[in-house]
């Protein structure tokens, strides 16, 4: 596939070399103590090509995505700095992007972001000065111009960004989702990370449409997968995580598991089964592995899928 | 069903009204240009709002894209998204923030199919220019101060350029 990118992003290198890519999600801590982040760094090192740092995920206040990405970079892991449109206007987004570039963070992801009403500061002002598509476009302008959003040139050095965006194949209107991917590709997106996939048939339909539209040759789709730890975690995700589609047959799989160990085994097996099915779907270039407070499971999933060690 | 949503679900009369408005605006362009952006806006904002508030719950962004979005105002989206729905749309097509309300973009997608402007669904709408918020969009459009609907912004492109003629509709 054509990447239209010559920079240093590790994700781009892995895709360019034709490998099946692995990205994993790292959650910056709620609080100033970096220990939780350092624990995830130690657990996950070597099991992915890139590591996404979430940006105030679920609209709850966390340590920033950018400082977390810097910590990862300094520990020798290649970060994907996530940028939501919820908390910052064009100036703040661009200044953080410049900061990312200064620290050698060259893989970035643009998202609208969950609305503040869904989080722990529902009384805060949602920003959305630009939407995710225009954030993608702005990042491309900064790299390819190189100009700022106002059209003024960026002096001396152009920042190096491999640009990502997201899509949720499970949210209505289903027919619009692939078209929206096309819009993001036209704006400059080079890889797409999807929402967590539990409804494989629906994802298949989405990917078939992506292939029909020829988008699988223009953008690398990284399919979102993640192990579910317990029926309680499923209930939490259905209620709290925006745009989740967890079919009922999954609950039945957990019904027989009585102990914590059994439940975790069911969760891991399920994740690997789904990931194996997804891997066979045309146009899928890699996985994006996410968990809810269960990063220790990620090395097991990556190893079980035969994706360890990473290139 | 309210009168508002009935009209938006059957947008033909609204499309005619918009096209008539466009014709009148084009005809009155010299007058508007003479008055200038601010003063022309002062005169036209009230009549525009008298129509658009009750019909579309208009948020006065000053750069109206209603005709491109199936006569559904994207500024009524809690995230004010102008390029399609976010990933939080519920399985029943309702908004993640307001579970009782249908997603603005689910409606825009359905309704735009009943207008002559369906092709605009692939349009890359540039971000809002907040300087003209609160001005009459009839004036900003006619005087080409509104980069979004007049296409003056270089970001106004279409996803069709990556689709290479493949049909998306």
- Tell me the per-residue pLDDT of A35-71, one tens digit each, with 9 for 90 and over: 999 999 999 999 999 999 999 999 999 999 999 999 9
Percentage above 90 pLDDT, chain A:
96
Mutate to test the interface with A, among B69, B81, B87 (most CBs of A within 10 A): B87
Per residue in A63-80, pLDDT (tens digit) is: 999 999 999 999 999 999
- Mean pLDDT, chain A, rounded, equals 96
- Print the domain residue range for B108: 3-163
- Report yes or no: B79 at the A interface, CB cutoff 8 Å: yes
Per residue in A107-149, pLDDT (tens digit) is: 999 999 999 999 999 999 999 999 999 999 999 999 999 999 9
Residue with tokens 């020829």: A214
A264 pLDDT exceeds 70? Answer: yes
- Report yes or no: A234 at the B interface, CB cutoff 8 Å: no
B168 lies in some domain: no
Residue in B91, B109, B157 closest to A186 by CB: B157
Ranges of chain B whose pLDDT falls below 70: 1
Six-digit token pair at A15? 């895709």
Give the pLDDT score at B2.
Answer: 80
Give the pLDDT score at B1.
Answer: 58
How many residue pairs from chains A and B have C-beta atoms closer than 8 A?
128
pTM: 0.96
Residue in B79, B103, B164 closest to A128 by CB: B79
Six-digit token pair at B4? 């508002």
Residue in A133, A218, A245 closest to B83 by CB: A133
Mean pLDDT within A157-179: 97
The kind and range of the H/E element at A179 are: helix A176-187
| Spatial contact of B136 and B44, defined as CB atoms under 8 Å apart | yes
Q: What angle do CA A169, A171, A172 make, to 5 degrees?
A: 115
DSSP reduced 3-state for A100 = helix
Q: How many domains would you assign to chain B?
A: 1
DSSP reduced 3-state for A85 = coil
A1 pLDDT exceeds 90? Answer: no
DSSP reduced 3-state for A92 = helix
Q: Of A140, A141, A137, A160, whose CA–CA distance to A152 is shortest?
A: A141
Q: What CATH fold (topology level) applies to the domain A10-227+282-304?
A: TIM Barrel (3.20.20)
Rounded to a whole number, what is the distance in Å from the CA of A258 to chain B's nearest CA?
31
Q: Is the dihedral angle over the CA atoms A71, A226, A287, A198 positive or is it negative?
A: negative
Partners of A22 in the β-ladder? A287
- Report yes or no: A91 at the B interface, CB cutoff 8 Å: no
Chain A hits for B168, Cβ within 8 Å: 178-179, 182, 213
Give the pLDDT score at B9.
Answer: 86
Compare all CA atoms of chain A with the CA of B96 and give the residue at the minimum distance: A242
B169 lies in some domain: no
Compare all CA atoms of chain B with the CA of A114 and give the residue at the minimum distance: B88
Six-digit token pair at B150? 């007049």
Give the pLDDT score at B150.
Answer: 84
CA distances from B86 to A8, A47, A289, B2 (A): 30, 30, 21, 26
Give the pLDDT score at B27.
Answer: 97
| Spatial contact of A244 and A222, defined as CB atoms under 8 Å apart | no
Chain B hits for A176, Cβ within 8 Å: 84-85, 105, 109, 121
Give the pLDDT score at B11.
Answer: 86
Chain B hits for A112, Cβ within 8 Å: 79, 81, 86-87
Q: Of A49, A18, A25, A15, whose CA–CA distance to A308 is shortest?
A: A49
Residue in B89, B106, B121 closest to A243 by CB: B89
- Report yes or no: B75 at the A interface, CB cutoff 8 Å: no
User: Could you tell me the residue ranges of all domains in chain A?
Assistant: 10-227+282-304
Contact residues for A179 (Cβ-Cβ < 8 A; gap 6+): A213, B84, B121, B122, B159, B168
- Report yes or no: B153 at the A interface, CB cutoff 8 Å: no
Contact residues for B34 (Cβ-Cβ < 8 A; gap 6+): none
Give the pLDDT score at B5.
Answer: 82
B7 lies in some domain: yes
Cβ contact, residue pair A118, B88, below 8 Å: yes
- Report yes or no: A242 at the B interface, CB cutoff 8 Å: yes
Q: What is the pLDDT confidence band of residue A173, given thresholds at 50, 70 and 90?
A: very high
Percentage above 70 pLDDT, chain A:
100
Mean pLDDT within A278-283: 98
CA distance A204 to A269: 20
| Spatial contact of A237 and A244, defined as CB atoms under 8 Å apart | yes
Chain A hits for B93, Cβ within 8 Å: 172-173
Q: What is the pLDDT confidence band of residue A269, given thresholds at 50, 70 and 90?
A: very high
The secondary structure of chain B, three-state, reads CCHHHHHHHCCHHHHHHHHHHHHHHHHCHHHHHHHCHHHHHHHHHHHHHHHHHHHHCCCCCCCCCHHHHCCCCHHHCCCCCCCCCCCCCCCCCECCCCCCCECHHHHHHHHHCCCCCHHHHHECCCCCCHHHCCCCHHHHHHCCCCHHHHCCCCCCCECHHHHCCCCCC
DSSP reduced 3-state for A223 = strand
What's the alpha-carbon Rg for chain B, to the nearest Å? 16
The secondary structure of A264-294, three-state, reads HHHHHHHHHHHHHHHHCCCCEEEEEECCCCC
A2 pLDDT exceeds 80? Answer: no
Cβ contact, residue pair A128, B80, below 8 Å: yes
Per residue in A290-302, pLDDT (tens digit) is: 998 899 999 999 9
CB-based burial label for A42 (10 Å; 0-12, 13-18, 19+): exposed
Residue in A117, A131, A168 closest to B127 by CB: A131
Compare all CA atoms of chain A with the CA of B84 and give the residue at the minimum distance: A180
Six-digit token pair at A86? 């919820």
Helix (DSSP H) and strand (DSSP E) numbers for chain A: 11, 8
CA distance A252 to B122: 41
Q: How far is CA A82 from the centre of its chain?
A: 8
Cβ contact, residue pair A185, B78, below 8 Å: no
């Amino acid at each position: 596939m054509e990447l239209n990118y010559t920079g240093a992003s590790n994700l781009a290198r892995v895709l360019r070399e034709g490998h099946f890519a692995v990205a994993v999600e790292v959650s910056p801590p709620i609080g100033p103590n970096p220990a939780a982040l350092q624990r995830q760094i130690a657990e996950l090192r070597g099991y992915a090509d890139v590591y996404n740092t979430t940006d105030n995920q679920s609209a709850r206040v966390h340590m920033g995505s950018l400082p977390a990405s810097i910590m990862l970079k300094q520990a020798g892991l290649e970060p994907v700095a996530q940028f939501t449109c919820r908390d910052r206007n064009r100036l703040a987004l661009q200044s953080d992007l410049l900061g990312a570039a200064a620290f050698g963070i060259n893989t970035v992801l643009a998202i609208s972001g969950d609305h503040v009403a869904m989080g722990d500061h529902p009384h805060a002002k949602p920003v959305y000065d630009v939407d995710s598509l225009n954030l993608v476009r702005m990042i491309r302008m900064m790299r390819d111009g190189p100009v700022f959003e106002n059209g003024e040139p960026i002096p001396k050095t152009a920042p190096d960004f491999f640009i990502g965006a997201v899509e949720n194949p499970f949210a209505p209107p289903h027919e619009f989702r692939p078209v929206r991917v096309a819009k993001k590709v036209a704006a400059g997106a080079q890889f797409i990370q999807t929402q967590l996939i539990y409804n494989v048939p629906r994802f298949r339909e989405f990917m078939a449409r992506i292939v029909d539209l020829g988008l699988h040759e223009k953008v690398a789709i990284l399919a979102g997968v993640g192990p579910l730890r317990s029926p309680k975690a499923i209930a939490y995700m259905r209620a709290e995580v925006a745009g989740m589609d967890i079919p009922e047959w999954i609950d039945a799989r957990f019904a027989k598991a009585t102990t914590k160990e059994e439940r975790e085994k069911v969760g891991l097996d399920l994740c690997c089964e789904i990931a194996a099915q997804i891997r066979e779907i045309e146009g899928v270039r890699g996985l994006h592995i996410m968990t809810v407070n269960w990063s220790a499971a990620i090395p097991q999933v990556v190893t079980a899928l035969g994706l360890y060690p990473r290139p | 069903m309210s009168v508002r949503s009935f009209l938006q679900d059957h947008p033909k009369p609204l499309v005619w009204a918009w096209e008539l408005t466009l014709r009148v605006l084009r005809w009155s362009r010299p007058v508007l240009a003479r008055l200038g952006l601010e003063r022309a806006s002062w005169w036209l904002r009230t009549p525009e709002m008298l129509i658009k508030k009750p019909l579309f719950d208009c948020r006065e962004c000053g750069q109206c894209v209603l005709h491109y979005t199936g006569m559904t105002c994207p500024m009524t989206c809690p995230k004010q998204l102008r390029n399609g729905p976010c990933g939080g749309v519920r399985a029943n097509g309702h908004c993640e923030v307001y579970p009782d309300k249908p997603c603005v973009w689910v409606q825009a997608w359905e309704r735009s199919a009943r207008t002559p402007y369906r092709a605009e669904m692939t349009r890359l709408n540039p971000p809002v220019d907040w300087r003209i918020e609160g001005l009459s969009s009839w004036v900003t459009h006619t005087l080409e101060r509104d980069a979004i609907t007049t296409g003056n912004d270089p970001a106004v492109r279409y996803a069709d350029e990556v689709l290479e003629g493949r049909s998306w509709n």
